[in-house]
Amino acid sequence: MLKIQSYKAGENRVLALSGRIEAENLAQLRLLSEAETGNVMLDLAEVDLVSREVVLFLEGCEARGIQLKNCPPYVREWIIRERGRQTD
């Protein structure tokens, strides 16, 4: 189950995510991240598990300028591998 907490940190809107992010959560995350007009950060410190669809979504978030804060190392490595596949 995914829990989302939203708060301001200076000029940034932080969406702190905790739990398991599944493909069914992506529409809600997309809406929340696109609804903000300023800088958006996704804090992944408390994320337990993600799927490939979620990794592709997170990679797209970074491409649009959304910062991934406290990204777990396995998720970061997976994002890097997916970027490599896209350029092949």
| Averaged pLDDT for residues 38-60 | 95
For residue 36, is pLDDT > 70?
A: yes
Give the pLDDT score at 5.
Answer: 96
| Averaged pLDDT for residues 39-56 | 95
The CA dihedral of 31, 73, 62, 17, to the nearest 10 degrees, is 20
For residue 37, is pLDDT > 60?
A: yes
Give the pLDDT score at 59.
Answer: 95
Helix boundaries (H) for the chain = 26-35, 52-63, 73-87
* Cα 78 to Cα 59: distance, rounded to the nearest angstrom: 9
Q: Please state the domain extents for the chain.
A: 2-87
Give the pLDDT score at 84.
Answer: 84
What is this structure's pTM?
0.89
The domain covering 2-87 belongs, at the CATH homologous superfamily level, to STAS domain (3.30.750.24)
* Cα 21 to Cα 28: distance, rounded to the nearest angstrom: 11
